[in-house]
Amino acid sequence: MSAINLSYDGAIAVLTVSNEAKLNALTTAMLDALEGHLGRIDRSTDTVAVIVIGVGDTAFCCGADISEWGALSPAEFARIWVRDGHRIFDRLARLSKPTICALNGHAFGGGLELAAACDIRVMTPRATLALPEAKVGIVPGWSGTQRLMRLLPEPVGKEMALFGRRISAERALGVGFIAEVAEDVLGAAKHIAADLVGVSPRATEIAKAMIHGAVGEDRGAAIEALGSAAAGASADRDEGVDAFLNKRSPRFTGQ
């Protein structure tokens, strides 16, 4: 059975990509499940960090299941498969909680794009990264030419997308795409996540939004969210809400 499962280790949420028979390839049902889990995690006040990992020790995720999209018309492929996946990966990238991808195996195509949507990554030394879409006549569709390229030097991105070359864990560490190489990637990811226990979750959330605004990740929403938070903490906001509920004119003080 293919699935993306959500479990918890204390305050750490763990999302597990599970479709081992197909090297953890992503299906429509798995994308839908991921979107639902992200909504629940974002609303949680008890979660301090999120880890994304695959089952097994061969693949983290080897992309999208071709049997799910191979028969789609060009319009359906663009309008449904690509846009839906893009929306869900954007949701992961813009999650209010810090995210860590534990690359327990190879990450190709959509799997690499999934890893790129996390804040930081740790990787087993046996894994490789690749963008093999051209081999089946398509191009990266879930931010592989956009978000991923902001995280890689341009020549390395072209090496992968145009020439189909695989990148080793050592090379990925050297270009800064991953934070650490570890045999036990889940243990390494949990060790990193544990540093967030005792840290202000609100400060972490705001810092993440500010960084995203700087690098162009959902800049408009980041700016408006920060502005709304500042306005929401004001006495004027409390006065305005109270005046509305009690059908009177507000008396704003600028505080």
Q: Which domain holds residue 124?
A: 3-194
My answer on whether 149 and 52 are in the same domain is yes
Whether residue 252 is contained in a domain is answered as: no
Residue 70 pLDDT exceeds 80? no
Whether residue 211 is contained in a domain is answered as: yes
My answer on whether 94 and 184 are in the same domain is yes
Q: Is 113 a catalytic residue?
A: yes
Whether residue 36 is contained in a domain is answered as: yes
Whole-model pTM: value is 0.89
Whether residue 253 is contained in a domain is answered as: no
223 versus 126: the higher-pLDDT residue is 126
Distance of CA 55 to the CA centre of its chain: 18
Candidates 68, 133, 170, 183; catalytic one: 133
- Which tens digit of pLDDT belongs to each residue from 142-188? 889 999 999 999 999 999 999 999 999 999 999 999 999 999 999 99
Residue 54 pLDDT exceeds 90? yes
My answer on whether 136 and 169 are in the same domain is yes
**Domain stop point among 194, 213, 230:** 194
d(CA 150, CA 138): 21
My answer on whether 93 and 187 are in the same domain is yes
Quick one: pLDDT at residue 222? 63
Candidates 35, 76, 113, 180; catalytic one: 113
My answer on whether 37 and 160 are in the same domain is yes
Domain count, the chain: 2
